[in-house]
Chain A
Amino acid sequence: MADLEIRNLHVRVEDRDILKGVDLDVSKGEIHALMGPNGSGKSTLASTIMGHPSYEVTEGTITFRGEDITEADPEDRAHAGLFLAFQYPVAIPGVSVANFLRMAINTRREDPINVKDFRTRLQHAVDLLDVDRSFTSRHLNDGFSGGEKKRAEILQMAMLRPEVAVLDETDSGLDIDALRTVAEGVNKLHAELGMGALIITHYQRILHYVTPQFVHVMMDGRIVIEGGEELVERLEREGYDPIREEVGARA
């Protein structure tokens, strides 16, 4: 049984059916890529996995480590070990990165984390992400550049140590250095903690730095083709159109 199991998931947003029966398994220690053209439902899947209240599950289930979490609150999913790196991280004015992380960590513990442990963990994450330590005293995402926001997402991921992380187009809009940093972050957490990842991307770029074992392609709210690394190469060569035609011919 996979850690994260998605079965026949149908999701509606503002009276529009976006996901139309998605099946997907992601386990700890596995790296998955979910690719697909814009508007295919990739981000909807990411938000639904994390429990966004505007996304209505009309059919199907999401199970995490044996528990049905289809209707669970986002914070309960986070505590269970899920993480979402947002495509568009929002600013939290007045709250520093470090303070926010301390709060988030403490929601997972009986007693607040002690100062020394927190510092050690933060330093480790800061080194991993190749950011300046002063970064953590800035207000979270407030006035951050696009690249800084994405680094901050990965920094949070490194601090919160999820079992399975969903990265929603974390690579879009990044320059090559930031992209490499983000990818290295994922690779290290994968190697050190056995974190599982579902990397959602429109492009192939990030997959030059993180090698997925499983690749899924989504179109019009369904996963239409699955495979290994070779699928990335094929997409790079041919784009989405041939796949779309194949799928159309099958249907």
Chain B
Amino acid sequence: MPDGVATQAKPAVKPGAHREAILYRALNGAGAGPAPVDELRERAREAYERLELPTWRRSGFWTTSLRDLDLDALIERTYAPGGPLPAAVAEGLPRGAVAGRLVQHGSTVIRAELDPELAERGVILCALEDAPRELVERYFMARLPLDRDKLEAASAALWSGGAFLYVPRGVVVDKPFDVVYAIDEPGTAQYGHTLAIGDEGADFRLRHFKLAPDLDGPALHAGQVEVYLEAGARCRFAPVQDWGEGQVVDVSTQVVQVGRDAYVHWLPSYLGGSLSRQHLELSVAEPGGDMAFRGVFFAERDEHLDLFAVDLHETGPSGGDVHWRGAATGQAKASFEGLIQINPGAQQSHTYLQIHTMMLSPRAKVDAIPSVLVSADDVSASHGGTVGELDEALIFYMRSRGLSRADAVHVIVEGFFEPLIGELEDEGLEELVREKIGEKLRAAAADVEAYAAAR
């Protein structure tokens, strides 16, 4: 994939690209809110009744369809607050201390723990249902729409529990806050909503887990996440999706808004889910905002992963640095579409998008599609990437030192992801992600071997 540099003043729409433009489009600040929660729920409910289950189609090569999802077979499940942690949570979280942890099991927030010292300093971590109304109404769904498709509407209409994090002005917290969504019974529909706010000069880490054991039957998570960083705030945001090997469908939208001179390091890890459609949008909304937008994905078996990541610059000067890495084994299909969008007037925005992929099976498929929409003339926006295959010269080199072929492949793939995993700057989480990737490689060893032999 050659580097491309776009400098055109107006978005160029290629013939035939119309459908693509409609379906894979930046939200660009078009939120349904802010507005009172009940009012938005009501609007979402109407949309939910009206809309069909979605199909996303791009240029004929890629379709993500939820037409076969049997919503009637899925129910929202409630659990006793304070009840036992699902095993996937008890065993699936990284080791190490946290500043606070909220766990939503099915539709119920079963835990909301916060370091009392932080609570005294004004930090809030609680169910979104219980969050202070004036804060919620100032931010809630300011950047999230509710009616692009039936599942988005379902999430906006039906969410319960939810997570709310507020880090007040100037408060610096070293340990991470954890928000956890867990499903542990087949037939579950979970509608999640997380709202996190970093007030002026706040500095914090948010880890956002979506976990399930290997479920025997279908389940659904439709979720929305919004993170707002006010002037000078800094946040390291590390979501982890690992729905196990069951039939878990995940349709989610996550947005991060970066305020004046604020900074986010956003690094999601997609490590499991049978069918996922994710819209991730990072908006630098005020001058001086800066960000690093990273991501790791590893699709296996017959998983289908559809990622749409938007690097949006609404004003300048602003900085951006987008860097994703993904691999696929088995018959997995993964698509990463990265859109750089620089709006009119966002002068002196500088951003770069790179996407590196690795195919580890002859039947796996990874598409990486960068695109650039630039509507300002004093900017730089470019993209690059690589499509990697296993390098036989490298494998022979390692074998000559005594490593088995499987170990050599493991080293190569780990090395491939390492530049991003190392950026998590969170030992426990790094270890967890490395281990997960190692497990997936071991599971796919025969596949990888067959691939090498075939070439």
Contacts and interface: CB of A to CB of B under 8 A. Distances in A.
Interface of A: 50-54, 73-75, 77-79, 83-84, 86, 89-90, 92-95, 100, 103-104, 107-108, 139, 156, 160
Interface string B328-353: 00000000000000000000000000
Contact of B402 (A78, A86, A90, A139): A78
B195 to A, nearest CB: 36
B400 A92 contact: no
A100 B402 CA distance: 11
A95 B397 contact: no
18 contacts: A50-B396, A52-B396, A54-B392, A73-B399, A73-B405, A74-B396, A75-B402, A78-B401, A90-B391, A90-B393, A90-B394, A92-B397, A92-B411, A93-B416, A93-B419, A100-B398, A100-B401, A104-B398
Nearest to A86: B397
A66 B85 CA distance: 60
Nearest to A141: B397
A160 B402 contact: yes
A104 B403 contact: yes
B430 interface: no
B185 interface: no
Contact of A93 (B392, B402, B405, B415): B415
A103 B394 CA distance: 15
A51 B419 CA distance: 32
A64 B415 CA distance: 33
A92 B390 CA distance: 12
A95 B415 contact: yes
B288 to A, nearest CB: 33
Interface residues of B, number: 23
A160 B401 contact: yes
B407 interface: yes
Contacts of B214: none
A103 B411 contact: yes
A84 B417 CA distance: 28
A94 B419 contact: yes
Nearest to B417: A94
A94 B418 contact: yes
B326 to A, nearest CB: 15
Interface in B190-217: none
B414 interface: yes
Contacts of B400: 50-51, 74-75, 77-78, 83-84, 86
B63 interface: no
Contacts of B392: 53-54
B65 interface: no
Contacts of A79: 402
Q: Which 4 A-B residue pairs are closest in the complex by CB-CB distance?
A: A94-B415, A94-B418, A74-B399, A107-B402
B396 A53 contact: yes
B401 A90 contact: no
B404 interface: yes
Contacts of A92: 394, 397-398, 411-412, 415
